Amino acid sequence: MAEHTTTTDGTQAGPEAEKDAAPPAGGRLGQGPGRLLLWFYGVFTVAALSRSLVQISTKFHEAPLAYVLSLAAGVVYAVITVALWRGGDQARRVALVSCSAELAGVVAVGILTVTDSSAFPDQTVWSDFGAGYVFLPLLLPVMGLLWLRRSAREAREASAAA
């Protein structure tokens, strides 16, 4: 029979409790350096969504494409934030697809705003490669993809060692 001990808060701990407390397969993506990414994506989620919702509700007719793109950026940021927070293999795949889509969006919108600024009468989060946000919209997906790659490698190594 497995031995159980009582923890400081009065709950029973044993082999089953240790198994339940283990992080999901693939570990938490929002731990270590991922915590900083999680924080930045959380801030960008709030910033992009609130800005775009105000713009869409007050002056949509002035620059509909720009405001819808900012809304899309906010949704992508929210998906990445949740994926980093949840962790695990499925969340890693969602974050990988979302970071890739974000990077493609930043590059595409960045090129369009530089080559044809008349298409964007107002700024988006991704305009000029995120220049209005100190180029963080361009750097975040690159850092996110690098972190996802590193954490996937660490998860593979941990499962191989177990």
Does 142 map to a domain?
A: yes
Q: Residue 133: which domain range?
A: 29-152
Does 120 map to a domain?
A: yes
Helix (H, G, I), strand (E, B) or coil at 135: coil
pTM beyond 0.75: the answer is yes
User: Total structural domains in the chain?
Assistant: 1
Does 119 map to a domain?
A: yes
Does 73 map to a domain?
A: yes
Does 53 map to a domain?
A: yes
Q: Specify the higher pLDDT residue, 158 or 144.
A: 144
Strand partners, 13: 5
Per-residue pLDDT, 28:
66
Do residues 44 and 137 lie in contact, with contact meaning Cβ atoms separated by under 8 Å? yes
Strand partners, 6: 12
DSSP for 7-31, written as a single string? -TTS-EESHHHHHHHSPPTT--TTS
Query: Which tens digits make up the pLDDT trace of 43-69?
Result: 999 999 999 999 999 999 999 999 999
Rounded distance between C-alpha atoms, residue 146 and residue 123, angstroms: 28
- Structure tokens that stand for 138 in this block: 């361009």
Does 7 map to a domain?
A: no
Does 69 map to a domain?
A: yes
Helix (H, G, I), strand (E, B) or coil at 98: helix
Does 3 map to a domain?
A: no
